[in-house]
């Protein structure tokens, strides 16, 4: 359930005037999710962090699951999908991969949860997949190769995410950054060869 859906649910509920903003709830929820992971997240702790009762939270969100999903969408929404008409497809894929990495790597519970629960139907994920197919077709891939490349790309991304072990200060280790960049280079080399020998850009 996206943030807009939560807002619609909120308007259908009766109760006292709101004391919080949804963005405030999402910010604190995301901090707790980063600290405890999705399995350790609970509404009681969230309410305590916000200084309200647990029932107050439910004036804004219908369930804990809806809140977690909205937090995921909040993070994924910070990543701009690939542009199929980009002048250089390799540079655009590298931009997209790096932005996704920089945005999601500090929240390793997100890709872990997406992989464990096989969550693939979020609108933002579907938009990213369609944009990647279009980018690869623009690069010279046929329909089948474009789909294979999308699967390979996301397998690499998820595998990279789930291996992250943040530092004590919550940062992504520099070695993880270096390994990720090297992996993207290798993917690009493979795609370039597969897509009918498209020249490097």
Q: Which residues contact 157 (CB under 8 A, 6 or more apart)?
A: 97, 100, 101, 111
Q: Answer with the one of 24, 40, 74 that is the final residue of a domain.
A: 74
Range of the domain at 66: 3-74
The verdict on 96 and 178 lying in the same domain is yes
Of 93, 95, 97, nearest to 179 by C-alpha is: 97
The verdict on 98 and 172 lying in the same domain is yes
Spatial distance between the Cα atoms of 72 and 33, rounded to a whole number of angstroms: 10
| Residue 186 confidence (pLDDT) | 96
CATH of the domain at 135: 1.10.357.10
The verdict on 9 and 65 lying in the same domain is yes
| Residue 200 confidence (pLDDT) | 43
The verdict on 66 and 118 lying in the same domain is no
What number of CA atoms fall less than 13 Å from residue 154's CA on the CB side?
Answer: 20
The verdict on 101 and 47 lying in the same domain is no
The verdict on 69 and 168 lying in the same domain is no
| Residue 120 confidence (pLDDT) | 61
pTM of the model: 0.79
- Radius of gyration in angstroms for the set of CA atoms belonging to the chain, rounded to a whole number: 19
For the chain, the domain total comes to 2
pLDDT along the chain (201 residues), means of 10: 51 56 93 92 95 92 92 91 91 96 89 74 82 95 95 92 84 92 96 72 45
The verdict on 70 and 84 lying in the same domain is no
Q: Is residue 200 part of a domain?
A: no
The verdict on 70 and 110 lying in the same domain is no
Tokens for 18, please give them: 């709101």
């Amino acid at each position: 359930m996206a943030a807009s859906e939560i807002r619609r649910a909120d308007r259908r509920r009766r109760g006292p005037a709101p004391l919080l903003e949804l963005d405030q709830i999402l910010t604190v929820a995301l901090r707790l999710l980063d600290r405890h992971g999705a399995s350790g997240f609970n509404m009681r702790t969230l309410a305590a962090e916000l200084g309200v009762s647990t029932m107050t939270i439910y004036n804004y969100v219908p369930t804990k699951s809806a809140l977690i999903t909205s937090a995921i969408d909040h993070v994924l929404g910070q990543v701009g999908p690939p542009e199929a008409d980009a002048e250089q497809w390799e540079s655009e894929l590298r931009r997209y991969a790096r932005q996704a990495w920089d945005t999601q790597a500090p929240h390793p519970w997100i890709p872990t949860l997406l992989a464990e629960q096989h969550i693939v139907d979020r609108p933002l994920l579907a938009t990213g997949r369609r944009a990647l197919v279009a980018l690869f077709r623009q690069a010279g891939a046929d329909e089948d190769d474009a789909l294979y490349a999308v699967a390979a790309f996301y397998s690499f991304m998820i595998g990279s995410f789930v291996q992250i072990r943040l530092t004590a200060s919550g940062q992504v280790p520099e070695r993880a950054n270096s390994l990720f960049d090297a992996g993207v280079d290798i993917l690009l080399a493979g795609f370039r060869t597969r897509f009918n020998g498209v020249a490097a850009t």
